[in-house]
Amino acid sequence: MILHVASLDKFIPPFIELINEHFDSSKHQFWLSGDKEKYPYQTSNNIYQVKRTKAGRPKGLLYLAVQLHKADKVILHGLFNPYVVVMLFCMPWLLKKCYWVMWGGDLYTYQLGEKNWKWKVKEFFRRPVIKNMGHLVTYISGDVELARQWYGAKGQYHECLMYTSNLYKELKLEPKASSTLNIQVGNSADPSNNHIEVLEKLLPYKEQDIKIFVPLSYGDQQHAEKVIRLGREWFGDKFYPLTDFIPIDDYLKFLGDIDIAVFNHRRQQGMGNTITLLGLGKTVYLQQDTSQWQFFKSLNIKVKSVRCGDISVLADNLTESNKLKIKEHFSKETLLEQLSHIFGEGNGLPYQRAA
């Protein structure tokens, strides 16, 4: 049996659907914590949801401890839950069969986390867990290198796209009806997007025919309010904060209307947005000293540096080249093949590539 341990997030319900559709669901069990109402999924026999009651958490953790020992493999979808980390710290013999799906924030807290006593306590438990984790799962090799550098991680690296949000998305784009340059800033309300810094860089263009769109429905809402206040003050009616959740199909249409996206993260983040935009032939700006910059460079996919002085779209031949490379590398077929390799024979009907 393969046990998936996850805190509910927007990536998890589509992943469960993918597993139940393409693999033997009887070989996969899901242990989920978090808000099911916010991130709904179709209930099935292979899902255990931790109840959000006083007794729900200890009962859920006891159930998890039993399932961890029963499982042949354990897929850890992110390493954010402190109770799970402490449990693995106390049961190090389980780590050799654990596969850490690296989300980014669960790794970069080492570098970017506030170095207070809480951080030190969490790192005390995290360090030996990460060091002795049997397997590291990501598609960005630079993050594995950082895990080895920061934590002495010894686990085997498995390349895997992991979630459907990271796949190429086919979308028929209508010809632009206007010459307005649509610019997206960031992918959430998380302060790590460094929105204010980007808005300052855009100030010289405020009198030009531009629109600035900033997704802010997800993350730190106090930070979102600050971004909205400054954005409206500096750009007036050219500034468009997106504060409500947008269904995936509508969000894809929104991305289809974007010309330039500026992701000013100092760490690997927003990869689903980045992959989708590049696959749609859009121009993306990233920080050069990040693992995703090196990742796209290794695939010969052209992105622009946030540090460069101009804001302009890539030439058509470069965006077309980007689209072809994204389509080839980030396919559903590739994802299913990678998951089959991780799950292994007898543990979920390995996916067979069509002849």
Q: What does the pLDDT read at residue 61?
A: 92
Instruction: Tell me the C-alpha distance between 128 and 149, whole Å.
Output: 14
- Contact status, residue 12 vs residue 78, Cβ threshold 8 Å: no
Q: What does the pLDDT read at residue 353?
A: 44
Domain annotation for the chain: domains and CATH numbers: 2-166+332-343 (3.40.50.2000), 181-329 (3.40.50.2000)
CA neighbours closer than 13 Å in the CB half-sphere of residue 127: 11
Q: What does the pLDDT read at residue 44?
A: 87
Within a 10 A sphere around the Cβ of 92, how many other Cβ atoms? 12
Q: With 50 as the cut, is the pLDDT of residue 354 above it?
A: no
What is the per-residue pLDDT across 304-316, written as a single tens digit (0 to 9) for each? 998 887 888 999 9
* Percent of the chain whose predicted confidence (pLDDT) is above 90: 60
Mean pLDDT of 54-82: 93
SS3 228: helix
What is the per-residue pLDDT across 287-300, written as a single tens digit (0 to 9) for each? 888 888 988 999 99
Q: With 80 as the cut, is the pLDDT of residue 95 above it?
A: yes
SS3 218: coil
Residues 6+ apart with CB under 8 A from 169: 252, 276, 279, 280
Q: What does the pLDDT read at residue 190?
A: 87
268 closest CA partner among 291, 299, 237: 291
CA neighbours closer than 13 Å in the CB half-sphere of residue 143: 28
Q: What does the pLDDT read at residue 119?
A: 84
Instruction: Tell me the C-alpha distance between 203 and 231, whole Å.
Output: 10
* Residue type at position 270: G
Mean pLDDT of 135-141: 93
What band does 148 get if pLDDT is binned at 50, 70 and 90? very high
Mean pLDDT of 149-164: 94
- Contact status, residue 42 vs residue 18, Cβ threshold 8 Å: no
* Percent of the chain whose predicted confidence (pLDDT) is above 70: 96
**For the CA atoms of the chain, what is the radius of gyration?**
21
**pTM, rounded to two decimals:** 0.81
What band does 345 get if pLDDT is binned at 50, 70 and 90? low
From residue 245, alpha-carbon distances to 39, 242, 252, 270 in Å are 12, 8, 13, 16
Q: With 80 as the cut, is the pLDDT of residue 238 above it?
A: yes
Kindly state the helix (H) or strand (E) to which residue 285 belongs, with its residue range.
strand 283-286
* Residue type at position 242: L
Q: Which two tokens stand for residue 205?
A: 């263009």
What is the per-residue pLDDT across 59-71, written as a single tens digit (0 to 9) for each? 999 999 999 999 9
Q: What does the pLDDT read at residue 114?
A: 73
Question: Over the chain, what is the mean pLDDT?
Answer: 89
